[in-house]
């Protein structure tokens, strides 16, 4: 379903005209209301009256995470404190968090984009949503909550964690939809399976998953494990929270629509900052076109993805590919650029491999060593007459040796790096306890 057909199916020329007008307004607005932008543009000799078209945006500098930190907590706000209706923080940072603020209109905007996202995910008014994103400073919980209410859903605000309780409510309240990080939903599925609960006794149809990178094989695992259609939701606190982009339930696997009438996207080269050709990968840069409390111009998200303009079916808006990594968590191992999601891509081709993996980096005499731990499906072990992988059968079982060799060769061929593959049982690797899952352990002490 399309929540806001006016915006989501706007003719391309009208969309560009709307974006251009909003852009001119927002640049004027930040220049007049945020000292940070005024002094930055003045220092660079930028005359903002020269920003007339969407292409002119490239004349402006990027805003980066450190700009938010340097202006902690409220330095980038464009409105006085009494106009701020809510504060949130960005997750996963060490030290001081990144603070973002919303006026009442911004909260309305936040609800609108999440309502659009939930509708695209298959949700409808009257359905129940079990909201397993964390409530609090993190934008996931309250963001999904308000958007679901705007769509007319009945929200179950359970927040993240408490897997037993999650399962009890799935059984007792019979929600049609669940929102969670994909790694946490996998934890819930595994617990459901451990307890032999028949998924036909549940009423779930849709899962809205995001806040961390995930793969097609994890999608397959979740869709079959829960009998749902699982779609991607993308967003970040600096821009608004969840609901910057969303996959349509009928176009799964083909990218997520960016609500570009409100958030203008660019893809730039990570090193030069110059725009890349359509379809090429680079850093996603976003400009909020209408936000009031903390508008942000050319925000360097650090997320690596690509944009395609011409393949959209149901909507006229641009589609964003999956996030393949973050510019700042790209690892450079023995000179080769490497994102952990490339491991997910390799594993996807093999039925014996689950979607769960972990990467450990160590350093031996100035040389980086990468160990990839992969959980092997029980069904495969059964077919080899192995009940569990043990230290002993790792080196004695011909099938396990073959699996390890196959993966090591494929990784070398696809990524260009030799890595040691370590096979383990389903359940051996850490699970999400409600939030984002960290798949990389860096023991290099650098």
Closest by alpha carbon to 354, among 425, 248, 261, 272? Answer: 425
**Does 139 participate in binding ligand DLL (rule CB under 6 A)?**
yes
The yes or no reply on residue 389 touching ligand DLL (CB under 6 A) is: no
d(CA 78, CA 80): 7
Minimum distance from residue 267 beta carbon to ligand DLL (Å): 14
**Comparison of 237 and 356: residue with beta carbon closer to ligand DLL:** 237
Report helix, strand or coil for 445. Answer: coil
The stretch near ligand DLL (CB under 6 A) out of 132-140, 185-193, 353-361, 401-409 is 132-140
Report CA 87 to chain centroid distance, whole Å: 21
Under DSSP, the state recorded for 196 is T
- For 323, other C-beta atoms within 10 Å of its C-beta total 22
Report if residue 213 touches ligand DLL, rule: CB under 6 A.
yes
> Does residue 90 interact with ligand DLL by CB under 6 A?
yes
- CB-nearer residue toward ligand DLL: 163 or 232: 232
Question: Does residue 435 belong to the site contacting ligand DLL (CB under 6 A)?
Answer: no
Question: Which residue number, 38 or 326, has a Cβ lying nearer to ligand DLL?
Answer: 326
Q: Name the residue nearer to ligand DLL (CB basis): 303 or 368.
A: 303
> Could you say whether residue 236 binds ligand DLL (CB under 6 A)?
yes
The 8-class DSSP code of residue 275 comes to B
State the helix-helix crossing angle for 182-194 and 216-226, rounded to 10 degrees: 40
Please pick, from the candidates 63, 103, 211, 432, the single residue that binds ligand DLL as defined by CB under 6 A: 211
Alpha helices in 263-390 (DSSP H): 341-347, 378-383
Q: Note the helical H segments in 10-138.
A: 12-33, 35-43, 65-70, 104-120
Comparison of 325 and 389: residue with beta carbon closer to ligand DLL? 325
| Minimum distance, C-beta of residue 84 to ligand DLL, in the bound complex (Å) | 18
CA 160 to chain centre: 16
The token duo for 323 is 């996030």
Site for ligand DLL in 238-267 (CB under 6 A): 241-242
175 or 241: CB nearest ligand DLL: 241
| DSSP 8-state symbol, 222 | H
d(CA 372, CA 359): 5
The verdict on whether omega for the bond into residue 73 sits within 30 degrees of 0, i.e. cis, is yes
Choosing from 37, 184, 234, 264, the residue that interacts with ligand DLL (CB under 6 A) is: 234
Taking CB under 6 A as the binding criterion, the range among 150-158, 168-176, 205-213, 421-429 that sits at the site for ligand DLL is 205-213
Residue 101 sits in the site that holds ligand DLL (CB under 6 A)? no
Residue of minimal CB distance from ligand DLL? Answer: 210
Q: Does 233 bind ligand DLL (CB under 6 A)?
A: yes
345 in contact with ligand DLL (CB under 6 A) = no
Chain centre distance of CA 174: 27
Compose the 147-186 pattern: x for residues touching ligand DLL by CB under 6 A, - for all others: ----------------------------------------
Candidates 56, 149, 191, 212; binder of ligand DLL (CB under 6 A) is 212
Query: Smallest gap, in angstroms, from Cβ of residue 167 to ligand DLL?
Result: 21
Give the Cα separation of 63 and 59 in Å (integer). Answer: 13
Q: How far apart are CA 233 and CA 31, in angstroms?
A: 31
Is 140 an interacting residue with respect to ligand DLL (CB under 6 A)? yes
Contact between 303 and ligand DLL per CB under 6 A: yes
Per rule CB under 6 A, is residue 133 in the interface with ligand DLL? yes
Helices (H) and strands (E) in the chain — how many of each?
13, 21
210 sits near ligand DLL (criterion: CB under 6 A): yes
| Number of other residues whose CB lies within 10 A of the CB of residue 274 | 9
Which of 11-19, 39-47, 235-243, 378-386 is the region at the interface with ligand DLL (rule: CB under 6 A)? 235-243
Q: Can you give the length of the chain in residues? A: 446
Please state the closest distance from residue 144 (CB atom) to ligand DLL, in A: 7
Contacting ligand DLL (CB under 6 A), which of 19, 20, 63, 91?
A: 91
The residue (of 242 and 389) whose beta carbon lies closer to ligand DLL is 242
Contact 293/77 with Cβ under 8 angstroms? yes
35: which 2 tokens? 């000292």
Check: CB of residue 171 under 8 Å from CB of residue 128: no
Number of residues that bind ligand DLL (CB under 6 A): 21
- Residue 6's contacts (CB-CB under 8 Å, 6 or more residues apart) are none
- Where in 365-405 does DSSP place strands (E)? 367-376
Token reading at 191: 């617990």
Question: Rule CB under 6 A: which residues touch ligand DLL?
Answer: 90-91, 133, 139-140, 210-213, 232-237, 241-242, 301, 303, 323, 326
């Amino acid at each position: 379903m399309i929540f806001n057909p006016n915006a989501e199916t706007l003719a391309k020329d009208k969309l560009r005209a709307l974006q251009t007008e909003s852009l001119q307004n927002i640049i004027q607005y930040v220049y007049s209301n945020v000292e940070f932008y005024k002094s930055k543009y003045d220092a660079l000799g930028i005359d903002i009256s020269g920003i007339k078209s969407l292409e002119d945006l490239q004349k402006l500098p990027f805003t980066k995470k450190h700009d938010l930190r340097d202006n902690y907590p409220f330095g980038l706000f464009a409105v006085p404190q009494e106009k701020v209706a809510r504060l949130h923080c960005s997750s996963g940072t060490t030290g001081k968090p990144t603070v973002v603020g919303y006026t009442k209109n911004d909260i309305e905007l936040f609800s609108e984009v999440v309502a659009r996202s939930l509708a695209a995910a298959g949700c409808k008014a009257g359905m129940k949503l079990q909201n397993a994103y964390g409530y609090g400073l993190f934008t996931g919980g309250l963001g999904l909550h308000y958007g679901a209410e705007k769509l007319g859903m009945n929200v179950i605000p359970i927040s993240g964690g408490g897997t037993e309780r999650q399962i009890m409510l799935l059984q007792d309240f019979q929600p049609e939809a669940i929102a969670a990080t994909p790694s946490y939903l996998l934890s819930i599925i595994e617990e459901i399976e451990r307890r032999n609960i028949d998924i036909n006794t549940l009423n779930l149809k849709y899962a809205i998953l995001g806040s961390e990178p995930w793969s097609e094989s994890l999608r397959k695992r979740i869709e079959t494990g829960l009998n749902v259609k699982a779609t991607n939701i993308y967003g970040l606190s600096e821009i608004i929270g969840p609901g910057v982009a969303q996959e349509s339930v009928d176009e799964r696997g083909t990218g997520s629509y960016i609500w570009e009438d409100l958030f203008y996207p660019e893809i730039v080269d990570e090193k030069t900052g110059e725009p890349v050709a359509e379809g090429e990968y680079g850093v996603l840069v976003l400009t909020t076109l209408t936000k009031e409390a903390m508008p942000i111009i050319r925000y360097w998200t650090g997320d690596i993805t690509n944009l395609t303009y011409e393949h959209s079916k149901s909507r006229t808006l641009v589609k964003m590919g999956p996030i393949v990594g973050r510019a700042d968590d790209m690892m450079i191992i023995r000179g080769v650029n490497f994102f952990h999601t490339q491991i997910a891509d390799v594993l996807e081709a093999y039925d014996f491999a689950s979607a769960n993996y972990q990467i450990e980096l160590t350093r031996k005499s100035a040389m980086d060593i990468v160990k990839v731990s992969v959980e092997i499906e029980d069904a495969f072990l059964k077919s080899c007459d192995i009940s569990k992988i043990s230290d002993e059968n790792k080196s004695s079982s011909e099938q396990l040796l073959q699996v390890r060799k196959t993966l090591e060769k494929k990784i070398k061929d696809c990524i260009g790096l030799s890595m040691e593959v370590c096979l383990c049982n389903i359940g051996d690797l850490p699970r999400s306890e409600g939030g984002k899952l960290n798949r990389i352990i860096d023991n290099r002490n650098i």
